[in-house]
Amino acid sequence: MVTIGSLIIYAMYQQLSDNALVELLKNSDSRAFEEIYQRYWDRLSLQVLKITGSREDARDIVQEVFVSIWKRRSEIELKGPLVVYLFKSVRNGAIRYIEKNITRNNYLHTLSGNIPLDMTTPASQYDLKELQNKLEQVVANLPPKMQEVYLLSRNEGMSYKEIAQYLGIAENTVRKQLSNARKSIRMSAGELTLFLFAGLVKLFF
């Protein structure tokens, strides 16, 4: 039951600055944490949604950030505005999301589909084209046989057995080639996602 006293307390917290809320949070003040949560949840979720294209994933990423903040509440040391700290935190969560999804068979389609729709300026379109070129270059630099196996899997949707029969090689060889191809792409994913977020940074600040 909501009482007049609790409403007054909530109203008091709503009047506090971000810095004041953080100081209370560091002392395990749950109401301060709740106020920060309510103050920024929608904005953070919207920004992550623009990247992931999934409301469920955006919700999970933001939720993980807030869980982490509560667990590390006594260690938080802001070097700037709280909003910057929060947006950097969800950005890092979104980077990890893309790094995970970039290794799937349809990594280029997935990543391209995660580009926010409002990136329509010539500069943004140029960045996207450059990113796509870089992604394709990663595949182009794979050893010939590995590249062939990977493209048959990604573009044609062929199974290990079908690729093995098509190329006249052992199924275990196909499995190993695909594994190595994905490892090579995964190793490049960090650099590629940094390139991506260089173009998206204006969405966060």
- Average of per-residue pLDDT values in the chain: 75
Same domain flag for 158 and 195: yes
pLDDT grade for 188, boundaries at 50, 70 and 90: low
Residues near 86 by beta carbon (within 8 Å), at least 6 away in sequence: 40, 44, 65
The pLDDT tens digits of the residues spanning 72-128 come to 999 988 887 888 889 888 888 887 777 666 544 444 454 445 544 444 455 455 555
The residue written with tokens 């469920």 in the block is 56
Q: Is residue 204 over pLDDT 50?
A: no
Instruction: Name the domain count of the chain.
Output: 2
Q: Count CB-CB contacts under 10 A for residue 8.
A: 9
Predicted TM-score (pTM) of the model is: 0.50
Same domain flag for 72 and 23: yes
How confident is the model at residue 104, as a pLDDT? Answer: 47
Task: Indicate the residue among 66, 101, 136 that finishes a domain.
Answer: 101
How confident is the model at residue 71, as a pLDDT? Answer: 93
Same domain flag for 142 and 195: yes
**Of the candidates 30, 33, 38, 35, the residue with the CA atom closest to the CA atom of residue 12:** 35
The pLDDT tens digits of the residues spanning 45-77 come to 988 887 777 888 889 899 999 999 999 999 988
Q: What is the 8-class DSSP label of residue 77?
A: -
Same domain flag for 73 and 113: no
Task: Indicate the residue among 67, 84, 101 that finishes a domain.
Answer: 101
Same domain flag for 16 and 75: yes
Q: Is residue 134 over pLDDT 90?
A: no
Interatomic CA distance for residues 138 and 128, integer angstroms = 16
* Contact criterion met (CB below 8 Å) for 200 and 116: yes
Same domain flag for 81 and 115: no
Same domain flag for 72 and 8: yes
pLDDT grade for 130, boundaries at 50, 70 and 90: low
Range of the domain at 96: 4-101
Same domain flag for 82 and 135: no
How confident is the model at residue 101, as a pLDDT? Answer: 62
